[in-house]
Amino acid sequence: MAVIIELKHVSFSAQHKDIVRDVSHQFEAGKTTALVGPSGGGKSTVLKLSAGLLVPSKGTVRFRGQDVSFMNREQNLAFRREGAVVFQDSALWANQNLDQILELPLRIHFPRMTKPEREQRIQEVLTEVGYKKELSIRPAELSMGEQKLIAFARALLCQPWLLFLDEWTESLDDAAAHRLISIVQERQAAQHTIIFVTHNLSLIKRLADYILVISGGTLSMRLTKEAITSDEDLVRYIEGIL
């Protein structure tokens, strides 16, 4: 088993409150893992810790064996280029238009890319996710579903091999959700690594190779796809905590 992300005895606290406590897990490269559990149980925090967006209060997060906290600038940029995040609230810059938002990752990670090349790449990902409106507007002028499409497009721009997706089909109509699910399935077929948070059991059954149950800030259960599709009692348990 090739490990791409490892959490080792990771804890995270904020405002004197323990949010994640002593979580250890190895995410297998080329596999898809769903983080599930009750609201407020720590799923999104575990996702952000795994993506290196939060610094653990205790423990270590490793990317390909290297402690994320001790990466130099070049190593950190390589990690950011290989891994991309879609946030639950989309996290689009309010004071930037969509074109500026989408250009920024390309400017950072591919500084030699020309303006026409950036424009071409942006149009490629917008076509892929199905966004058709203009780019001169700001996020506030979009619906929540449209914001999610832009956030997903931004995550695809640098062609990452590692995707962190937080409630990524929320606020989307059925057609848009189906399109993004198809994109994820294409990445799965290409052996990309995907870690996602969802409350959607059908999505878990459809996509996940592994399921981690996060409850009360702890990793309470590790499951395989086979377990969640064959054990009716287990399925009812998962349904009850989503």
CATH of 3-90+161-241, one of 3.40.50.620, 3.40.50.2000, 3.40.50.300, 3.30.70.260: 3.40.50.300
The pLDDT assigned to 228 comes to: 76
Two tokens, residue 12? 């995270």
- The length of the chain is 242
- pLDDT, mean of residues 226-233: 78
Q: Tell me if residue 41 falls in helix, strand or coil.
A: coil
- pLDDT, mean of residues 29-50: 96
**Residue 232: which pLDDT band, with cuts at 50, 70 and 90?**
confident
> How far does CA 76 lie from the centroid of its chain?
17
Q: What does pTM read for this prediction?
A: 0.95
CA angle 146, 148, 104 (to 5 degrees): 100
| Separation of alpha carbons 210 and 185, rounded Å | 15
Give the percent of the chain with pLDDT over 70: 100
- pLDDT, mean of residues 189-193: 97
Does residue 230 surpass a pLDDT of 80?
no
**Residue 238: which pLDDT band, with cuts at 50, 70 and 90?**
confident
The pLDDT assigned to 107 comes to: 97
> Using H for helix, E for strand and C for coil, what is the string for 134-167?
CCCCCHHHCCHHHHHHHHHHHHHCCCCCEEEEEC
Does residue 121 surpass a pLDDT of 90?
yes
The pLDDT assigned to 6 comes to: 98
Q: Specify the amino acid at residue 58.
A: K
Task: Answer for the pair 30, 205: CB distance below 8 angstroms, yes or no.
Answer: no
Question: What are the pLDDT digits (tens) for 147-174?
Answer: 999 999 999 999 999 999 999 999 899 9
Residue with tokens 């059954």: 205
- pLDDT, mean of residues 112-126: 97
| Separation of alpha carbons 212 and 35, rounded Å | 5
